[in-house]
């Protein structure tokens, strides 16, 4: 099994540092806050750098006071100044974070919403191929990574570099260039080591992420198919498969941990050697009288003060590398343009009559497997046209093309003479109501699932739609009525009940065009007849495309098309097709014979 089958990026892929530039638009929304945050950042660093200077004067004054008169108010003032500077460093740092919090949180909100909208704009093919668990993890890690990059790039990398320059400048002016040279050498060695080792261990981070996505996707897929797992007694099989993915994740995480330990140990060694070298230099100068005891204390304080954020810089760099990986995946997802797009300045669809036309349509999901070939028909306004045929004949593909889940490869589809590829998708889908074969509900109340057909509908309108779909008796029998939770994907309802909810939604939407894709396939005979009457009542005023397998449900259609292997092989009314004694007549006899056998059983 490939370790990265779930990832678009191999483990040795180097992140794109230009991703950071893509975060700039999220800073421009709050320019004032960003500027104020940077001001507090500079003040915090000035206070931090000035603190060892105050400490130097305290030590020098106390040291000199042993040989002469000591004025107590001077060290008191210096101590107060020292404490004030330390407090100011913390205060300005906290103010910086508080002011910038709105920027980071708003950026996460903006990106999350942008990704959410983008995923809904993607074509059906993308969602058929996706792995929900892995996708959810990528989005979660990506949005968190954006917040991290915004905070730490601006408030850790920049301040640390600023502090290094300030300290180097003070040491150069106050002492000599040897201290500056020692600091620069240690910083360069530290940074180069951190970058090289982090680059090496990033592959382990990527592998851990890929394994995490795999295991999470498998877990969600298994739980969504809970009933199927139970039907085949495959709990142990699923647990073993999940554990196999977890084992890969465990190994990748272990490599990640061990490489992190190596990185931390190397960084600590570099810092330790640098401090030993510079302290020995300072001790020698104190012994020779070149510098005071206060100078020694100041150098020591600067070293501690400098290497603590530098050590944090190593952590920040590692986390930035990880965040870049996560944000790169997220931006990569956003960078994938939808396959089905509106034409530039596409007008809204105008429905005057509601005539639907398929004109010499050819379509294939894959180039080597054609689905529809030279399909040509018209549904006059207000008429009902049914399409029947064996499974795989291309019936449901007609509905997908009309709803523009896919675009035709050749030919065109029109509504009142307007090519649906040249009008906006939103206007097209707003005038079409669909009752699908497989109805999936939200994990919410029955009322909210019904009202989804038109969220702004009144309670009376929702209840009326439920009555038209013959749901009212069923709802009254529920202890919680309309407030009943339907469960994830509507698993608490039967297939027939879910189908009625789908019908009620469409009735509530009240569109001029209807697509009924096996709309009564999950209903018993009595319910089917009742709902067929309701659908027939609604269909009389609308142009309706009915996709059906059971021929008894389309006997009253104005026209019936018979499809076989992607082509229309017969057309006419029910009686006309029976009189032709062709493919339709054979299907009719077969289904009648099957129904009679079921009745005898």
> Which tokens in the block code for residue 412?
């065109």
Q: Rounded mean pLDDT of 193-219?
A: 80
Give me the pLDDT at residue 347, please.
Answer: 93
Q: What is the pLDDT of residue 8?
A: 46
DSSP label at residue 445: B
In the prediction, which pLDDT does 211 show? Answer: 82
For 209, counting Cβ atoms within 10 Å of its Cβ (0-12 exposed, 13-18 middle, 19+ buried), the class is buried
Which segments of the chain belong to CATH 3.40.50.300?
A: 346-431+511-601, 440-509
- Of 507, 341, 358, nearest in space to 426 by CA: 341
What's the rounded Cα separation, in Å, for the pair 561 and 583?
11
* Across 137-146, 304-313, 449-458, least confident range: 304-313
Q: Under a CB-based contact definition with an 8 Å cutoff, are residues 498 and 490 in contact?
A: yes
Helices 293-335 and 132-152 cross at an angle (nearest 10°) of 140
CA 439, 443, 445: angle at the middle one, nearest 5? 95
Q: Which CATH class is domain 440-509?
A: alpha beta
- Tell me the average pLDDT of the chain: 81
Alpha helices in 459-546 (DSSP H): 459-468, 472-476, 495-509, 525-539
d(CA 575, CA 262): 82
Q: Architecture of domain 17-335 in CATH? A: Up-down Bundle (1.20)
What's the CATH class of domain 346-431+511-601? alpha beta
d(CA 391, CA 565) in angstroms, rounded, equals: 9
How large is the average pLDDT for residues 520-546? 73
Count the neighbouring beta carbons within 10 Å of the beta carbon of residue 407.
15
Q: To 10 degrees, the CA torsion angle through 178, 179, 181, 184? A: 180
Tokens of 198: 């982090």
For the chain, where do the domains classified as CATH 1.20.1560.10 start and end? 17-335
Give whichever of 202-211, 526-535, 560-569 has the largest mean pLDDT.
560-569
pLDDT of residue 128: 64
Shortest CA distance to 414 belongs to which of 369, 364, 365, 352?
352
Q: Which residues contact 189 (CB under 8 A, 6 or more apart)?
A: 270
Measure the CA–CA gap between 531 and 536, rounded to whole angstroms.
8
Range with the lowest mean pLDDT among 392-396, 441-445, 537-541?
537-541
Start-end of H helices in 66-131: 73-121, 124-129
pLDDT at 3: 32
What pLDDT, on a 0 to 100 scale, did the predictor assign at position 6? 39
Reported confidence tier of residue 401, pLDDT bands at 50, 70, 90: very high
| pLDDT tens digits, one per residue of 233-276 | 888 888 888 888 888 888 888 888 888 888 888 888 888 888 88
* C-alpha dist (Å) from residue 114 to 16, 28, 206, 351: 21, 17, 25, 31
- Tokens (6 digits) for 75: 């060290």
Q: CB count, 10 Å around CB of 254?
A: 12
Considering the chain, what percentage of its residues have pLDDT values greater than 90? 16
């Amino acid at each position: 099994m490939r370790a990265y089958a779930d990832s678009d990026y191999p483990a040795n892929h180097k992140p794109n540092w230009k991703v950071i530039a893509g975060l700039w638009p999220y800073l421009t929304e709050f320019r004032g806050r960003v500027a104020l945050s940077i001001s507090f950042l500079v003040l915090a660093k000035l206070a931090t750098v000035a603190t060892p200077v105050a400490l130097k004067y305290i030590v020098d004054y106390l040291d000199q006071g042993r040989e002469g008169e000591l004025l107590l108010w001077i060290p008191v003032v210096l101590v107060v100044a020292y404490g004030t500077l330390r407090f100011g460093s913390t205060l300005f740092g906290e103010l910086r974070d508080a002011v910038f919090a709105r920027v980071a949180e708003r950026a996460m909100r903006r990106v999350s919403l942008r990704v959410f909208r983008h995923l809904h704009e993607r074509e059906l093919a993308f969602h058929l191929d996706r792995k929900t668990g892995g996708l959810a993890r990528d989005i979660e890690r990506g949005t968190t990574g954006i917040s991290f990059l915004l905070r730490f790039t601006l408030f850790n990398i920049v301040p640390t570099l600023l502090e290094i320059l300030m300290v180097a400048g003070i040491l150069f002016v106050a002492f000599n260039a040897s201290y500056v040279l020692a600091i620069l050498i240690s910083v360069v060695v530290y940074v180069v080591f951190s970058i090289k080792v982090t680059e090496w261990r990033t592959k382990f981070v990527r592998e851990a992420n890929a394994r995490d996505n795999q295991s999470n996707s498998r877990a969600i897929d298994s739980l969504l198919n809970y009933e199927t797992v139970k039907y085949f007694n495959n709990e142990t099989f699923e647990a073993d498969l999940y554990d196999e993915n977890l084992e890969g994740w465990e190994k990748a995480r272990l490599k990640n941990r061990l490489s992190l330990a190596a990185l931390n140990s190397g960084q600590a060694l570099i810092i330790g050697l640098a401090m030993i070298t510079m302290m020995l230099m300072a001790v020698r100068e104190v012994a020779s009288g070149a510098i005071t005891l206060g100078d020694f204390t100041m150098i020591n304080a600067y070293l501690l003060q400098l290497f603590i954020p530098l050590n944090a810089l190593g952590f920040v760099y590692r986390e930035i590398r990880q965040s870049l990986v996560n944000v790169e995946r997220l931006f990569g997802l956003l960078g994938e343009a939808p396959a089905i797009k509106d034409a530039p300045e596409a007008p809204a669809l105008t429905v005057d009559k509601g005539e639907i036309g398929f004109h010499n349509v050819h379509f294939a999901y894959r180039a080597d497997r054609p689905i529809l070939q030279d399909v040509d028909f018209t549904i006059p306004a207000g008429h009902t046209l049914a399409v029947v045929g064996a499974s795989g004949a291309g019936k449901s593909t007609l509905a997908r093309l009309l709803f523009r889940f896919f675009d035709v490869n050749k030919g065109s589809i029109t509504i009142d003479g307007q090519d649906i590829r040249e009008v906006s998708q939103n206007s097209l889908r707003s005038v079409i109501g669909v009752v699908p074969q497989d109805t999936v509900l939200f994990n919410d109340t029955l009322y909210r699932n019904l009202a989804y057909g038109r969220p702004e509908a009144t309670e009376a309108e929702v209840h009326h739609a439920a009555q038209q779909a013959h749901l009212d008796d069923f709802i009254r029998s529920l202890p919680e009525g309309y407030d009943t939770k339907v469960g994830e994907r509507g698993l608490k309802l039967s297939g027939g009940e879910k189908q009625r909810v789908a019908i009620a939604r469409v009735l509530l939407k009240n569109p001029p065009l209807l697509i009924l894709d096996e709309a009564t396939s999950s209903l018993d005979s009595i319910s089917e007849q009742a709902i067929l009457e309701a659908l027939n009542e609604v269909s009389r005023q609308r142009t309706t495309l009915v996709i059906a397998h059971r021929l008894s449900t389309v006997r009253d259609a104005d026209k019936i098309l018979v499809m076989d292997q992607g082509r229309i092989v017969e057309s006419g009314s029910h009686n006309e097709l029976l009189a032709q004694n062709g493919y339709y007549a054979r299907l009719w006899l077969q289904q009648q014979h099957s129904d009679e056998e079921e009745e005898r059983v």
